[in-house]
Structure 1
Amino acid sequence: MNLLEQLKKMTVVVADTGDFESIKAFTPRDATTNPSLILAATDDDRYKNLIDQAVVYAKENAEKKEEQLSLCMDKLSVNFGIEILKIVPKRVSTEVDARLSFDTDATVKKAHQLIKLYADAGIPKEKILIKIASTWEGIKAAEILEKENIHCNLTLLFSKAQAIACAEAKVQLISPFVGRIYDWYKQSRGVDDIPATEDPGVLSVTDIYKYYKKYGYKTEVMGASFRNIGEITELAGCDLLTISPKLLKELEETEGELKQKLSENDLGGYNEAKISIDEKDFRWLLNEDAMATEKLSEGIRKFAADIIKLEDKINQKL
């Protein structure tokens, strides 16, 4: 068997793309999207009808231009999600506007809007993960939503402090960003590469996974943002891994034995003490972690920039 076939036997494989043909090709269980992926997909004429549908919907259901734009953006994200759910058997992650990352109430309101749009299309909320940045405000919004059985995917996660706060908020799933952690340390150390076995992103996800399993947290760990297949194979056995089409293809074309590296039944003597995190602890620990602070802020800025680019495209049609 190739590496992808073996990986699917020990980990839930998720497609990290907005491209439907890629999702069909690799038969993942779930799929994730984000503003950058949707922006890239809208450059493809195959998805023009999804934009046109969203524009018509917004014009029919909102009067003011500002309201039309907001509704159109939400409907476009949902349109992509609906099409993806025709391909994957389980769940799709749909992201809340990154510009709401520091506003708990607005994040909850936006999540309700997205869930309503899915419900209007006949999609139950169990099929949706609301994707929210792992700020303190985002985690608190997810805590509220989870109590309403609206499940969340906490993204842009770079530190254990974020992971513990998410677990204590009982969120459904976290997406620690392996590759972006790798990027930061590669630049910080002034090196061209870090071996997968020493990759700080891999080590971070491994630590979070073992911590969750040792203390019985139900929050799922989904490694994300990979730079190479070495990072992926070092996390074989993680609850889920969301992988780009390029790396899925590379895994599919690579033969060899894949060893399971993570298992909740074998934590390898992991003995880190359990800690509890309140808002003051969260902000202090995040502040003390230069990598996590920089990458979280950068990630929010980049997603926000791509949202603005997408809005500019939509505005021309409105």
Structure 2
Amino acid sequence: MASKLDQLRAMTTVVADTGDLGAVARLRPIDCTTNPTIVLSAVDSPAYGDVVEEALAWGRKQSGDAARVAAATADRLAVSVGVELLRLVPGFVSTEVDANLSFNIGASVARARQIIDAYTQRGVEPERVLIKLASTWEGIRAAQTLQSEGVKCNITLLLNRAQAIASAEAGVFLISPFVGRIYDWHKKSGGKDFSAAEDPGVRSVRGIYEYYKSNGIETIVMGASFRNTGQIVALAGCDRLTIAPVLMDALASERGELKRALAPAAAEPRSLRTAEDGICRWFVGEEAADIEHPDPAGPMDENTFRWSMNEDAMATEKLAEGIRVFATDLKTLRRRIAERLE
């Protein structure tokens, strides 16, 4: 029998959650991603030695404020990492807009255009690049503008249904709901572990997937941030799954039948209405659907979005934490580049 990884490939597009060139070449994912953490690790990776030196040589030729030159060199390196990954995969590479712009619509749009232009100058078609933005209200609005210009976007750090609905209404190409970060929060908060069937992160992605499919929403659902293979198996059949090499290797070593857990045809239409107890809930037919997050009623305007996030402590805390981590890694990357330029 084929490995579980090969069986998964037959029902889900597998994406590599890594910038390790050796792992990407060996595991043959369809798409890849970058973020400040991945680019920071490339600075010390022998595999990226020539790429790093090229970026530094370019930076040393630039004039002006040292901090600005370091930032521009780090930006160049991020695109260079993406170009190297695209040599190994047939699909997309996701490249992240600076985390410190997560609450600035105009600056996020401008930075995304710069990224697309930088890839174009390297001979990479814009159609192969996904612009990654945090799932803040501002990030989603920036994505809406970019999508209207033909730039495909990946909304990341997505942790609840309000973010998913807002992204769909904005016409976003792809969302990345984070399984592991939801799991981490609930495990710490509740003081207990979860089976795959009970896992709050798994249940969240399932709910979003079913909502999208039952409502004819074309936005791609790509489960992300996995902690174990059980979470991946529980989401087999999801549009895309982005998986770290260590978990891909684990799935490659496992045999046995991998049953499809998600399928578009299996998603039943859902309606949002007020139940007998006065609480607004999603329903499948006449049965109340399982809900992991507060659900908005009506169109996803800014007030509804912000209130839904306010009512969801997990999503609020983990979104803020994720933005801080990426912002810190970007700051560290620029500092390391500045040191190397000197």
TM category, shorter: over 0.9
Give the alignment of 1:155-166 within 5 angstroms. Answer: 155-166=156-167
Instruction: Give me the whole-angstrom Cα distance separating, in 2, the residues matched to 1:132 and 1:299.
Output: 12
Give the alignment of 1:262-281 within 5 angstroms. Answer: 262-267=262-267, 269-273=268-272, 275-281=298-304
How many residues end up aligned between the 2 structures? 316
Give the alignment of 1:59-74 within 5 angstroms. Answer: 59-74=60-75
Partner deviation per Cα, 1:17-72 (whole Å, 9 max, x = no partner): 01111111111100112111222232222212222211222343553323312211
Query: TM-score normalized by structure 2?
Result: 0.90
Instruction: Give me the whole-angstrom Cα distance separating, in 1, the residues matched to 2:227 and 2:23.
Output: 18
* Residue equivalent to 1:50: 51
CA contact (8 A) 2:4 2:252 kept: yes
* Residue equivalent to 1:97: 98
* Residue equivalent to 1:215: 215
- Structure 1 residue corresponding to 2:317, chosen from 294, 313, 318: 294
CA contact (8 A) 1:18 1:33 kept: yes
Indicate whether 1:307 and 2:320 are aligned: no
Partner deviation per Cα, 1:96-123 (whole Å, 9 max, x = no partner): 1101100111111111111111000010
In the TM superposition, residue 203 of structure 1 has moved relative to its aligned partner by 0.3
Identical residues among aligned pairs (%) = 50
Question: What SS does the aligned partner of 2:61 have?
Answer: helix
Report the AA paired with residue 265 of structure 1: A
* Residue equivalent to 2:109: 108
Report the AA paired with residue 114 of structure 1: I
In the TM superposition, residue 217 of structure 1 has moved relative to its aligned partner by 1.2
Instruction: Give me the whole-angstrom Cα distance separating, in 1, the residues matched to 2:260 and 2:28.
Output: 21
Query: TM-score normalized by structure 1?
Result: 0.97
In the TM superposition, residue 270 of structure 1 has moved relative to its aligned partner by 4.8
Give the alignment of 1:165-176 within 5 angstroms. Answer: 165-176=166-177
* Residue equivalent to 1:147: 148
The more displaced of 39-48 and 233-242 is 39-48
Question: What SS does the aligned partner of 2:64 have?
Answer: coil
Question: What SS does the aligned partner of 2:265 have?
Answer: coil
In the TM superposition, residue 250 of structure 1 has moved relative to its aligned partner by 0.2
Partner deviation per Cα, 1:234-276 (whole Å, 9 max, x = no partner): 0001000000000000000000100001111111x45243842
Find the structure with the greater CA-based Rg. Answer: 2
* Residue equivalent to 1:118: 119
The more displaced of 210-219 and 279-288 is 210-219
Give the alignment of 1:184-195 within 5 angstroms. Answer: 184-191=185-192, 193-195=193-195
Q: CA RMSD in A?
A: 1.2
CA contact (8 A) 2:235 2:261 kept: yes
Give the alignment of 1:227-238 within 5 angstroms. Answer: 227-238=227-238
* Residue equivalent to 1:250: 250
* Residue equivalent to 2:206: 206
Partner deviation per Cα, 1:70-95 (whole Å, 9 max, x = no partner): 21111111000000000000100011
Question: What SS does the aligned partner of 1:40 have?
Answer: helix
Unaligned 5+ segments in structure 2 are 273-296
Instruction: Give me the whole-angstrom Cα distance separating, in 1, the residues matched to 2:252 and 2:76.
Output: 34
Question: What SS does the aligned partner of 1:13 have?
Answer: strand
CA contact (8 A) 1:136 1:279 kept: yes
Unaligned 5+ segments in structure 1 are none
Instruction: Give me the whole-angstrom Cα distance separating, in 1, the residues matched to 2:60 and 2:101.
Output: 24
Indicate whether 1:285 and 2:308 are aligned: yes
Instruction: Give me the whole-angstrom Cα distance separating, in 1, the residues matched to 2:299 and 2:210.
Output: 16
Instruction: Give me the whole-angstrom Cα distance separating, in 1, the residues matched to 2:42 and 2:53.
Output: 14
Instruction: Give me the whole-angstrom Cα distance separating, in 2, the residues matched to 1:288 and 1:195.
Output: 26
Q: Compare the two structures and name the one with the higher helix fraction.
A: 1
Instruction: Give me the whole-angstrom Cα distance separating, in 2, the residues matched to 1:218 and 1:62.
Output: 46
Report the AA paired with residue 151 of structure 1: K
Report the AA paired with residue 253 of structure 2: E
Instruction: Give me the whole-angstrom Cα distance separating, in 1, the residues matched to 2:63 and 2:10.
Output: 47
Instruction: Give me the whole-angstrom Cα distance separating, in 2, the residues matched to 1:260 and 1:128.
Output: 29
* Residue equivalent to 1:132: 133
The more displaced of 246-255 and 27-36 is 27-36
Question: What SS does the aligned partner of 2:270 have?
Answer: coil
Report the AA paired with residue 141 of structure 1: A
Instruction: Give me the whole-angstrom Cα distance separating, in 2, the residues matched to 1:14 and 1:62.
Output: 38
CA contact (8 A) 1:30 1:90 kept: yes
Instruction: Give me the whole-angstrom Cα distance separating, in 2, the residues matched to 1:123 and 1:33.
Output: 15
